[in-house]
Amino acid sequence: MADGTVSSRLDACWQRGCDFLGAPLALMGGAMSWVSERNLVAATSNAGAFGVIACGSMPPKLLAEEIAATRALTARPFGVNLIILHPEIEALIDVCIAARVGHVVLAGGLPVAGQISRLKAAGIKVMGFAPALPLAKRLIRNGIDALIIEGAEAGGHIGPVATSVLAQEILPAVDEVPVFVAGGIGRGEAVASYLRMGAAGCQLGTRFVCASECVAHPEFKKAFIRAAARDAVASVQLDPAFPVIPVRALRNKGTELFMQTQRDVIRRFEKGELSQKEAQLEIEHFWAGALRRAVIDGDVEYGSLMAGQSVGMVAREQPMREILDELVAQAHDALARR
């Protein structure tokens, strides 16, 4: 069913999302650094969904190469996820405009109106993350074309509010633009439930890590297959004086070492061995390179195993088309039963 041959009811439920994405299925791939590169993005789009390149910390030249390499693998639409706090964000926007990218997802903060308008002036559809209703309305006023609401069940950097709560807060109150729901989604029944609530589509990340087309290290994939939902935990902040941006990942030796590192750094600060700025930098730099070590090198003990709580529903490695077929069949059946 991943070619779009689904029931008229499912078609009707996510037609707005399909039209916006230009894809047969209103299912987006979450942008995961080191994971959502050309191979997985192209496989996602080729199978009927909508792949999204994770720019992450890429410099502009590398992003331009990644877009071109993805285009060589698929003729179907895909998007690019840009982190607003990237030091070269304006140059990255220039790259997307020059490459005539169809969709850009602005993440990691609240985009300014100028960034949105510059992309839109180039004919690019712009998406942004809304962690609360007032911010959703502000993004709409600033010209955003579509919203993504992502709950705390998601992997990677997370907010404090559950997906189900965000959906109840935002979906009934927003009809000006399409809204896509993300965080903790691993089966088609959940997709169907959010569509019934008014979502235009859904975004999934963790569920796609074990796609056979994904370049993640076999040990990284094995960690996902072995894990239960409770193993995907949010990072803990020991002292409010040293803030830690919450990240959800699988618990491992690196997680334990991070806790000990925080204790040691705070103790050294209290003894006067470190300034507050130096202590904060040591804590922030702990995970530097850890995601790459896990995804690319397979260091599943000390690397960062970013995963959402839907990891418990990842049972085996499968081709992307097979994963999408399962999700669509489950959504179809849920709507048919209703």
Q: Is 64 exposed, middle or buried (0-12, 13-18, 19+ CB in 10 A)?
A: middle
329, 188 contact by CB (below 8 A)? yes
CATH of domain 8-215+314-337: 3.20.20.70
Instruction: Give dist(CA 85, CA 95) in Å, integer.
Output: 16
In the chain, list all ranges with CATH 3.20.20.70. 8-215+314-337
Beta pairing partners, 250: 232
Percentage helix, strand, coil for the chain under 3-state DSSP, each rounded to 5: 45, 15, 40
pLDDT of residue 217: 98
User: pLDDT by residue for the chain (338 residues), tens digit each?
Assistant: 444 444 588 999 999 999 999 999 999 999 999 999 999 999 999 999 999 999 999 999 999 999 999 999 999 999 999 999 999 999 999 999 999 999 999 999 899 999 999 999 999 999 999 999 999 999 999 999 999 999 999 999 999 999 999 999 999 999 999 999 999 999 999 999 999 999 999 999 999 999 999 999 999 999 999 999 999 999 988 888 888 888 999 999 999 999 999 999 999 999 999 999 999 999 988 988 999 999 999 999 999 999 999 999 999 999 999 999 999 999 999 999 86
- DSSP conformational letter for 336: H
Note if the pTM is more than 0.85.
Answer: yes
